[in-house]
Amino acid sequence: MKYSVGFDDYYVVEREIDSCNLTLQYEEVQAVKWADEEEILQLIKEERLIPYHDIERLFSIHKQKCKQKGQ
């Protein structure tokens, strides 16, 4: 998603990945965690996660694409 002062990248992963096998950039990543939509929205509500702009829209778009593919 693009903004006038920058952009955000979002990734939706639909398969099992061992987070131990990920290569994270120390300068850019403080921590990594797998979470579903419900948990992400709860973390935002509790102010434990950055309230990313339009995160609910992202989940909605993803669900629509899955329906179109018959998943």
User: Tokens 């709860």 belong to which residue?
Assistant: 42
Contact 53, 1 (CB under 8 A): yes
The predicted structure's pLDDT at residue 49: 84
Q: Are 64 and 70 in contact (CB under 8 A)?
A: no
- The pLDDT value recorded for residue 42 is 94
Predicted pLDDT of residue 45: 92
- What single-letter DSSP state applies at residue 61? H
Tens digits of per-residue pLDDT, 25-62?
Answer: 888 887 778 888 899 899 999 998 888 777 888 888 88
What would the DSSP string read from start to end of 37-57? HHHHHHHHHTTSS---TTHHH
Amino acid identity of residue 34, one-letter, is W
**What pLDDT shows up at residue 39?**
93
For 3-24, the pLDDT digits (tens) are: 677 776 777 777 788 878 888 8
